[in-house]
Amino acid sequence: MDTTARLAATEAIRQLKARYFRGVDDGNSDLVRSILAEDCVLDYRGCCTDPVTGIDHMPAMNMVLEGRNNWPQTKSPVGPRIVTVHQGNDPDITIESESAASGIWSFTDRFFMPPGSPFARLTGWGRYHETYVNRGDGWKLQTTRIERLRVEKE
**pLDDT confidence tier of residue 154, bands split at 50, 70 and 90:** very high
Kindly state whether residue 76 falls inside one of the protein's structural domains: no
Q: Which one-letter DSSP state was computed for residue 43?
A: E
> C-alpha dihedral over 121, 122, 128, 134, to 10 degrees?
-30
Percent of the chain residues past pLDDT 70, beyond the cut: 97
CATH, residue 39: 3.10.450.50
- The mean per-residue pLDDT over the stretch 92-109 comes to 98
Q: What is the CA radius of gyration of the chain?
A: 16
Record the pTM: 0.94
* Count of domains forming the chain: 1
CA 49/CA 38 separation, integer angstroms: 28
Kindly state whether residue 97 falls inside one of the protein's structural domains: yes
Kindly state whether residue 15 falls inside one of the protein's structural domains: yes
pLDDT tens per residue, range 60-82: 999 999 999 999 887 655 567 88
Kindly state whether residue 77 falls inside one of the protein's structural domains: no
Residue 80 has φ and ψ, to the nearest 5°, of -70, 150
Host domain of residue 49: 3-68+82-153
